[in-house]
A and B are shown apart, each in its own frame.
Chain A
Amino acid sequence: MSDASLLDVDGVCGGYGGEQVLQGVAFNMKPGEIVAIIGRNGVGKSTLMRTLTGLLAPSAGSIRFNGVDMTREPANVRALRGIGYIPQGRDVFPDLTVRENLLVGEVAGQGREPPDYDTIYRFFPILKERERQRAGTLSGGQQQQLAIARAMIGHPSLMLLDEPSEGIQPSIIKDISRNVRELNAQTGVAVLLVEQNLDLIVSMAQRGYVMEKGRIVASLGPDEIRSREAVRAYLTI
């Protein structure tokens, strides 16, 4: 099992409407890995994430998850298969309470595993405190925690984490990085991280890919991804 791929992306093209943003993206992930995709603004990282969730349909290529071809499956079916999505900008349900947001997150785990609120609240105690508060009134960092918790409550085997550092204070970025690594260690959830924040990439990722103009152009091993100089060089290409 440990040798099998969790995610196999092969020759994926796609984008919005007629515009082709992804030009044949190919990479893979093993279960339990933390992999970063780095690259500058506009190279297609978020488009790739939305294509992996199923919110955008690819025009070519294939996406296999746990050995199942899910290229043509809609987003809700992919979520039930174990893909948890934490989008750029968090996208919490603003008029729902924190507890209600988590309740929606439970849907993905239905029929697989019951929700485990104890674990989630141990990682994110602030959410327990704010249970009855409307999510739209939380701070950016708290919303980020809620978005991660909302994905985790459905027991995903892969977490797609899109720019978690965006608009968040540096001190909280450290907390989020630590939390995600601990979640990864304890639950074995794999993490695909799209990021531009150097600290977060270096502190979290175990290996990485460099994306440029809709393609993966380089692969970074464990040593390279932990080197600030190497990562900085790729971020400023």
Chain B
Amino acid sequence: MRTFGRGFVLARALSSAEQGARRVELFPAIFSIFYQFGDAFAFLVISCAGLAVIFGMMGIINLAHGEFIMCGAYVTAASARAGLPLPLAIACGAVAAGVVGMALERAVIRHLYHRPLDSIIATWGVSLIATQGVLIMLGPTMQGIGTPLGSTLVGERSYSVYRIVLFASAVGLLVGLYVLFYRTRFGVIARATIQRPAMARALGVDTRRVYGLTFGLGAGLAGLAGGLYAPTMTMVPTMGATFIVESFVTVVVGGADIFLGAAPAAAILAVIRAALTAWYGQLFGQIGLLVAVIVVIRVMPGGLSAFLKRWQR
């Protein structure tokens, strides 16, 4: 009787302690889910923005996207190690990639606007030259920079603060692009040029300049992606490939519009990826992304944006 009583009391004490712990763990659990989602969302948005601008605005499929990312990452790492504060170094990376992009547009892409298939081959060639060139000139690896800001404990797990900064940057990037394309003169003229290039020219728009700037912007955004992720990665000439699958998947699922396409696509894919990664691991997260693309291409050939635009009308 006494033993039963003691055991009973012990069992009750244990279960109430468990309940208490569960209540405390609810916030960390939710935080963990949001963190995973935010991390995946940020990676998808930041890595695809440049590709989406160039594809959506100009119809060019830029296979050198990954190399613009690499360019941004290398310049960021080099300038950070030369003593620049990280945000400035990232800006340098973005600007450098943008300038390289404008030069490439003038030298190569400009001549291929009416030949979309050739532009794929040309950008692929540029990508090969860039990776091999960097390998030959700078060697197989470059000294990177550590991830700043350390980590924070939520519940029992620690989270990288920098990843949270990346999520905020992704949201900021979308807002910035929206303001640029919908609230500035350049944005309105760029959108007009995409819709009716000949008409825009007949109204006095220097469409070649608009295309050049747009391509530069896309390349600069790729450079920004490289800069933002440089502190989290190993610096190798092929590092752009890490971003390629995710960025193309997001653009394909999203379609030609950044705001009605790439952004919601990134949100949906981030949910799929975060959930699958949490339950089954990274490999299944990746598989989930690819299955999502196949389903989307089958059901909505124009991507999410074409689908959403039909709804809008």
Contact = CB atoms under 8 A, between A and B. Distances in A.
Interface of A: 53-55, 74-76, 79-80, 85, 87, 91, 93-96, 100-101, 103-105, 107-108, 110, 150-151, 154
Nearest to B209: A76
Contacts of B201: 54-55, 74-76, 79
Given A55-B202, A75-B198, 4 more contacts: A55-B198, A76-B202, A76-B207, A103-B188
B261 to A, nearest CB: 14
Contact of B195 (A80, A93, A103, A108): A93
30 contacts: A53-B202, A54-B201, A55-B202, A75-B201, A76-B204, A76-B205, A79-B201, A79-B202, A79-B203, A87-B202, A91-B199, A93-B191, A93-B195, A93-B196, A95-B191, A95-B195, A96-B192, A100-B192, A103-B188, A103-B189, A104-B188, A104-B189, A104-B192, A104-B203, A105-B203, A107-B189, A107-B205, A150-B203, A151-B203, A154-B203
A93 B204 contact: no
Contact of A93 (B185, B192, B202, B206): B192
A94 B203 contact: no
A33 to B, nearest CB: 21
Contact of B191 (A53, A54, A96, A150): A96
A216 B191 CA distance: 38
A99 to B, nearest CB: 9
A95 B182 CA distance: 11
Contacts of B199: 85, 87, 91, 93
Contacts of B189: 103-104, 107
B206 A76 contact: yes
Contacts of B33: none
Contacts of B207: 76
Interface in B77-112: none
A110 B204 CA distance: 9
B200 interface: yes
A62 to B, nearest CB: 20
Counting from the closest, the 6 A-B pairs by CB-CB distance are A79-B204, A108-B204, A107-B204, A75-B201, A85-B202, A91-B199
A150 B188 CA distance: 14
Contact of B200 (A54, A74, A100, A104): A104
Contacts of A104: 188-189, 192, 200, 203, 205
B2 to A, nearest CB: 82
A154 B199 CA distance: 14
Interface residues of B, number: 17
A100 B205 contact: no
A103 B76 CA distance: 38
A199 B207 CA distance: 37
Contacts of A95: 191, 195
A182 to B, nearest CB: 22
B192 A85 contact: no
Interface in B159-216: 185, 188-189, 191-192, 195-196, 198-207
Contacts of A79: 201-204
Contact of A96 (B195, B198, B206): B195
Contacts of B191: 93, 95-96, 100
Contact of A75 (B185, B192, B202): B202
Nearest to B199: A91
Contacts of B202: 53-55, 75-76, 79, 85, 87
A16 to B, nearest CB: 13
B4 to A, nearest CB: 77
Nearest to B182: A100
B5 to A, nearest CB: 76
B117 to A, nearest CB: 21
Contacts of B192: 93, 96, 100-101, 104
